[in-house]
Structure 1
Amino acid sequence: MTTLSRRNLLRVGAGALPALALGARPALAAPLLPGVTVSGTAPSSLAGFDDVMKTFVKERGISSAQLAITKYGKLVLARGYTYSDGSRYVPQTTPTSLFRIASLSKHITATAIMRLVQDGRLSLSAPVTTLLGLSATADPRLAQVTVLRLLQHLGGWDRDASGDQLWQDHAISAALDVPLPISQDDIVRYATGRPLDFDPGSKMAYSNYGYLLLGRIVEKVSGMDYESYVRQTLLAPAGVTRMRIGRSLRSEALPGEVSYASQYTRKTVLDDSGTVVPYQYGGFNVPNHDANGGWVASAVDLVRFARVFDAAGTVLNSTSISRMFAKPEIGVSGDGWWYGAGWYVRQVTGHLNTWHAGSMPGTYTYLARLQNGFTYAALFNRREETGTLDFDVLSPQMNAVKVTSWPTTDLFAKYL
Structure 2
Amino acid sequence: MLASELPARLPTRAELVRRPLPTSVLGGVPVTGFPESLPEIDGRLVQALQDAELPGMALAIAQGGRLVVMRGYGTLTVGSPVAIEPTLPAMLCSLCKPLTAQAFLVLAQENKLTLEDRADRWITTDPRITLRQLLTHRSGLAAKFLDTSHAATEVERVKRALAEPLVFTPGERFLYSNVGYQVLGRILANITGQRPDQFIQKRLLDPLGIRSYFVATYLTPADQVRDDSGTAYVLTPHRYDKQTRGHTPVRDRVSSLAKEALGSSDTCGAGCMSALDFLHFLCSITPAQRQMIRKHASETDGYGLGWMLKDGGLAHTGIGSGETHYALTRESGVSYVCFLPSSNDEACERILALVQSLVLRLKRSPELPWQ
Q: Give your verdict on TM over 0.5.
A: yes
Partner of 2:244: none
TM-aligned CA distance change 1:400 to 1:121, over 3 Å: closer
Partner of 2:245: none
Partner of 2:354: 397
Question: Mapping of 1:365-380 within 5 angstroms?
Answer: 365-380=325-340
* RMSD of aligned residue pairs (Cα, Å): 2.8
Structure 2: which amino acid aligns with 1:63? P
Alpha-carbon offset, residue 58 of structure 1? 1.9
Alpha-carbon offset, residue 123 of structure 1? 2.0
TM-score (ref. length: structure 2):
0.80
Match among 246, 251, 257 for residue 284 of structure 1: 257
Distance, in Å, in 1 between the alignment partners of 2:140 and 2:181 is 13
Residue 38 in 1 paired to residue 31 in 2? yes
User: How big is each residue's C-alpha offset from its partner over 1:246-296, in whole Å with a ceiling of 9 and x where there is no partner?
Assistant: 2473424795212222258xxxxxxxxxxxx94524332383111111221
User: How big is each residue's C-alpha offset from its partner over 1:335-380, in whole Å with a ceiling of 9 and x where there is no partner?
Assistant: xxx00111002595xxxx1000001122221100024211000012
Secondary structure in structure 1 of the residue aligned to 2:40 = helix
Partner of 1:258: 235
Distance, in Å, in 1 between the alignment partners of 2:151 and 2:82 is 31
Distance, in Å, in 1 between the alignment partners of 2:36 and 2:331 is 21
Partner of 2:105: 114
Residue 126 in 1 paired to residue 117 in 2? yes
Distance, in Å, in 2 between the alignment partners of 1:111 and 1:152 is 13
Secondary structure in structure 1 of the residue aligned to 2:41 = helix
User: How big is each residue's C-alpha offset from its partner over 1:113-170, in whole Å with a ceiling of 9 and x where there is no partner?
Assistant: 11111111122112122211x15xxxxxx211100100000010243xxxx11xx4xx
Question: Mapping of 1:308-387 within 5 angstroms?
Answer: 308-311=284-287, 318=288, 320-328=289-297, 331=299, 333=301, 338-346=302-310, 353-384=313-344
Structure 1: which amino acid aligns with 2:90? F
Residue ranges of structure 2 left out of the alignment (5+ in a row): 1-22, 242-249
Distance, in Å, in 1 between the alignment partners of 2:363 and 2:240 is 42
Structure 2: which amino acid aligns with 1:257? V
Partner of 1:406: 364
Question: Mapping of 1:45-124 within 5 angstroms?
Answer: 46-83=38-75, 88-124=79-115
- Identity among equivalent pairs (%): 22
CA contact (8 A) 1:42 1:50 kept: no
CA contact (8 A) 2:76 2:83 kept: no
Distance, in Å, in 2 between the alignment partners of 1:251 and 1:84 is 14
CA contact (8 A) 2:153 2:263 kept: no
Secondary structure in structure 1 of the residue aligned to 2:328 = strand
Alpha-carbon offset, residue 95 of structure 1? 2.0
- Say how many residue pairs are matched: 330
Match among 208, 220, 232 for residue 178 of structure 2: 208
TM-aligned CA distance change 1:29 to 1:184, over 3 Å: same
CA contact (8 A) 1:66 1:80 kept: yes
CA contact (8 A) 1:261 1:280 kept: no
CA contact (8 A) 1:82 1:90 kept: no
Secondary structure in structure 1 of the residue aligned to 2:31 = strand
Residue ranges of structure 1 left out of the alignment (5+ in a row): 1-26, 136-141, 174-179, 265-276, 312-317
Question: Mapping of 1:293-308 within 5 angstroms?
Answer: 293-308=269-284
Residue 233 in 1 paired to residue 203 in 2? yes
Structure 2: which amino acid aligns with 1:79? R
Distance, in Å, in 2 between the alignment partners of 1:72 and 1:85 is 34
Larger Rg: 1
Distance, in Å, in 1 between the alignment partners of 2:33 and 2:348 is 23
Alpha-carbon offset, residue 28 of structure 1? 7.0
